[in-house]
A and B are shown apart, each in its own frame.
Chain A
């Protein structure tokens, strides 16, 4: 069962990789794995999505923005917790990924913040999230929506 799930995840991953524009040298070498999001209650609260973005190429790539039909204003944000234990959240701006490196969007750190939801995020469904790169390349990720209390892609 686990293997089957893994095979499914791998197939999904390969599909995603296939969707990215292979003609571009920079962002064409971006591979996304382990994408997931939490379900929302209605549309008033912002949503969050997580994934690992790997640059398998030989040149740096810069993630400049996001697009999705699900949200009016999707943006990469970063949560930080300071020495006094106070958590805050700010837009992360552009993110450059060195060759061979990856950037993790994970709870408590970087995340795709989905503001202005156009529809509720329902557990069991997926939505497309487009990563926009500086070189004009795009990678479309189909993000599975897990439960509200999900902790990671395996939940």
Chain B
């Protein structure tokens, strides 16, 4: 019995080791290798995490493939940066008109402790209806962030509360799930809209 358990652990250990090696290859030499500008987000097809959207559906990176996608990280207790990003995105979608309907738009929370499915639903009800909110167990959020090369950190505030530092740009992926570019936080609309159209053009090219 003991020996079997030991063998089991051994196999699991070996599995973990080969996974680590595979991930290592993927990041260093494989398609996940950093480009000149730094670490490039993985393709959505190469990411692996499981979250729940604000309507209670189970979702993951592969749910996004087939349509162009905007993803950004934030949290609903964020008074300044996040509502600004959400308003910016709402504005872009309005300006894109019918083209805007083609997009997956996802906010992934970096504060799952406070951002429950219910909290996400309450909050997103005030912004563009295309915007979906994803939350879930912290380890899954961490895996998501790692795939996007996003970072976040919990920072205590002086009133005993806490805030979150986090990557605040918007990630754009084409319909095949390949990373196209980022829209930096608060980037002017005249730069943001052409980037969005470019990600859609890639989609058209891929389809033809």
Do the two shown chains form a genuine complex with each other? yes
Please determine whether B77 and A45 come into contact, CB atoms closer than 8 angstroms. yes
A contact residues around B163 at 8 Å (CB): 89
Pairwise interchain contact B155-A88, C-beta atoms closer than 8 A:
yes
**A114 contact set on B, CB distance < 8 A:** 79
Kindly state the interface size class of chain B when it binds its partner: 20 to 34
Contact B185–A85 (Cβ < 8 Å): yes
Map CB proximity to A onto B156-191 as digits: 1 under 8 Å, 0 otherwise.
011101010111110000000000001011100000
- Contacts A41-B122, A91-B158, A147-B126: A79 and B77 contacting too (C-beta < 8 A)? no
Interface SS majority for chain A: strand
A85–B169 CB distance below 8 A: yes
- The reply to whether B185 and A81 form a contact with Cβ atoms under 8 Å apart is yes
Neighbour of B126 across the interface among A48, A85, A148, CB < 8 A: A148
CB contacts (< 8 Å) of B127 on chain A: these are 148-149
Q: Chain A, 102-125, contact with B by CB distance < 8 Å: what is the 0/1 string?
A: 000001100101111000000000
User: Which residues of B lie under 8 Å from residue A72 when comparing CB positions?
Assistant: 159
Q: Is A86 among interface residues, defined by CB-CB distance under 8 A?
A: yes
In the assembled complex, A150 has its CB within 8 A of some CB on chain B = yes
Which of B42-50, B85-93, B194-202 lies at the interface with chain A?
B85-93
How distant is the Cα of A87 from the Cα of B80 in the complex, in angstroms? 10
Name the B residues within 8 Å of A88 (CB-CB).
Answer: 155, 165
Taken together as a complex, chains A and B put the C-alpha atoms of A91 and B158 apart, in Å, by: 9
A89 to chain B, nearest CB (A): 6
Q: Find out whether the CB atom of A148 lies under 8 angstroms from the CB atom of B83.
A: yes
Which A residues touch B157, using CB under 8 A?
115
Interface residues of chain B, those whose CB is within 8 Å of chain A, are 76-77, 79-81, 83-84, 86-88, 90-91, 122-123, 126-128, 151, 155, 157-159, 161, 163, 165-169, 182, 184-186
- A and B contact pairs by CB, cutoff 8 A, 17 listed: A38-B83, A41-B126, A44-B77, A45-B76, A46-B77, A81-B168, A85-B167, A86-B151, A87-B165, A91-B158, A107-B84, A107-B186, A108-B81, A108-B185, A111-B80, A148-B83, A150-B87
**Given A84-B151, A85-B185, list of 7 further CB < 8 A pairs?**
A41-B122, A45-B76, A81-B185, A85-B168, A149-B87, A149-B127, A151-B88
